[in-house]
Amino acid sequence: MEMPTLTIGSRTARLPIVQGGMAVRISLSPLAAAVAEAGGVGLIAGSGLTVSELAAEVRAARAATSGVIGVNIMVAVRAFKDLVHAAIGEGVDLVVAGAGFSRDVFGWCRDAGVECVPIVGSARVARLAERFGASAAVVEGVDAGGHLGTDQHVDDLLPEILDAVDIPVIAAGGIVTGADIKRMFDAGASGVQMGSRFVATEECSASDEFKRLYLEACEDDIVLIKSPVGLPGRAIANPLTERLAVGDYPRIERCKSCLKECGKEYCIMDALQRSQRGDVVEGLVFAGTSAARVHDILPVGELMARLEDEWRTATEEEAQ
């Protein structure tokens, strides 16, 4: 028994698993290429990278695999247009856009023959995306890590969005096992996007300290924080999140104006870069609720095989 494939426009992945594009510098070419080579869709996170850095990451991933490679770029970043064009110029298969909505990106992708996949949090936005030419949509529920565009669980969002559009719908938020994947398929999703589970892989570019927090986290450790992006964020509790909770924001040393709009309470890019490098005291460790169910660090190939086996077992058990 084989997992169904995932077709997004003209691109088809052998496995219906999209690896989340986690910024800043968490999802880079080693992780994306390994996922694509194993049959899924590998995403490089463009937010927080320079244009030349993103182009280099896409080239490295392309050199390592012939699988499906894409980028995830926040609409909220000031360099959004330049990052998208850099990725398109290096031959990505798809562009995933979240933390905002851009009408222009659909045209850029269409003109280049690249699939455009927005992250949506409501049926209204999903319909709008389909009308502008989206090849698929990622429905991200409140259990996801990082910036959140909804307070609803993916189980509640998925039915209304499936009713609203005809394009493939990819479920995200709180998915960590093959049994979770089956549950999303049973609900009508064409695929799943998983971020937190891929942090705990050997190919992920997060620091060892960052990954260790995932392995040690329990449900009570996953908290919501205020982000200057203007959306709530989900992260693992640490001294920084405790400061943020009481409004004790770290001083901004030097503002690079990286966001189109920023509350300037503190520098989100600095906080994310710190944790990626290993500072999990003053750095921000974004994570979904499913991080509490991650207990080991695996090579990507082994993880993908495990997810297939878990999905197969759950499917066979239901058939008995």
Read off the pLDDT of residues 191-227 as tens digits, 9 standing for 90 and up: 999 999 999 999 999 999 999 999 999 999 999 999 9
- Rounded CA gap, 11 and 41, in Å? 10
CB-CB contact of 47 with 84 (8 Å) = no
Q: What is the pLDDT of residue 63?
A: 96
Domain-wise residue ranges, the chain: 12-205+296-313, 208-290
Whether residue 241 is predicted with pLDDT greater than 90 in this model: the reply is yes
Q: What is the pLDDT of residue 186?
A: 96
pLDDT tens digit sequence for 52-101: 999 999 999 999 999 999 999 989 888 999 999 999 999 999 999 988 88
Q: Does the domain spanning 12-205+296-313 belong to CATH 2.60.40.3140?
A: no
Q: What torsion, rounded to 10 degrees, do the Cα atoms 124, 77, 195, 288 define?
A: -80
> Quick one: pLDDT band at residue 266, thresholds 50, 70, 90?
confident
Handedness of CA 181, 186, 191, 195 (dihedral sign): negative
Could you tell me which residues come within 8 angstroms of residue 128 by beta carbon, excluding any fewer than 6 positions away? 101
- Rounded CA gap, 203 and 319, in Å? 35
